[in-house]
Amino acid sequence: HLKTWQRLHQTAYPILFNNADLCGKKVAKTFSFKMISADNFDEDIRKHAIDVGVSERPYIISVPKGSSADIAGVQQKDTIIAIGAWRIPEKDYQREFTAQLEKQAEQKSSLPITVKRGNKEVRIDVPLDNVCDFTLVLQRTDTINAYADGKRLIFSTAIMNLLQDDNELAAVIGHEMAHNTMGHIDKEQANAAVGFVFDLLLAGVGINTHGAISNASRSAYSQEFEAEADYVGLYYMYHANYDIQRAPTVWRRMSISNPGSIKDNRMSSHPPSPERFIALEDTIKEIELKIKNGEAVVPTVGYE
């Protein structure tokens, strides 16, 4: 599970970082590594986590290759023991730790930390990056799925196992991130609210719709949103230096591998595979033409 999380973070970070200019107001200043502590684990596995090296203090589990933290010298398995002059106590430090992180982010362009590496203490100034401000979530489930909720990018362990190629995973990450940046979730909720009004009006005259109009209104433009997310997501993928040529095979592979799972979850709103494949190929040609002509490689939809 930890290795799967590391892969998700290390694949997603270049996309979040390299597309900050395209994320509008949904941008935050942060550091590129990820950390956990023993307190992140349930009591039944907490002791095991400590036995394998996880510290009571923040323990670094992921440093994307080529990221600011990687270049600065942060390494996986480093334990953070200080932020600036503040030494982190072994217990009950979470509130002050968060406050110290926020303070540094507001006042400086880098995060001064001291890490314990073996028997040594190493001081590192980690540059703070502007990134698209979306939280990554990994859900342990056998259902092949990935979705966005406006603030998060959620992936099942099943889809992570299916997408063994990081370029294909990057295509899905870019797609879901585009749902958030293009405001699709907010638009779906607004549409559902309109439908809910009609459900209430019909209920007032004795007709129980069981929320049918609300549900229909929510999904009224779902395929258009999915197509737009495919289009914008390919640009995100390109800017993060992933192979956009691999993207068109992703949705076809998922539909072939487990069509029942896709039918029963959010992915059922995705356009039919042949149409999606052709649209993605057209977008790849559009990107290649912009590169050839020396034009700005940015999506036209939503970025006029």
| Residue (of 146, 157, 76, 74) closest to 113 by Cα position | 74
Side chain identity at 7, as an amino acid letter?
A: R
For residue 94, what pLDDT is reported?
84
What does the alpha-carbon distance between residue 181 and residue 163 come to, in Å, rounded to a whole number? 23
CA separation (Å) from 248 to 16, 134, 181? 21, 24, 21
Encoded amino acid at 41, one letter: F
Supply the pLDDT for residue 266: 45
Please tell me the pTM assigned to this model.
0.79
Q: Which amino acid is at 147?
A: Y
Q: List the structure tokens of 292.
A: 């050839």
Amino acid at 220: A
What whole-number distance in Å separates Cα of residue 106 and Cα of residue 116? 25
How far is 142 from 137, CA to CA, in rounded Å?
15
pLDDT (tens place) for every residue of the chain, 304 residues total: 789 989 999 999 999 999 999 998 899 999 999 998 655 545 555 555 555 555 578 889 999 999 999 999 999 999 999 999 999 998 888 889 889 888 887 878 899 999 999 999 999 999 999 999 999 999 989 988 888 888 999 999 999 998 889 999 999 999 999 999 988 676 554 443 333 333 344 454 455 544 443 443 334 336 788 888 999 999 999 999 999 999 888 877 766 665 544 434 444 445 456 777 888 999 999 999 999 999 999 998 754 4
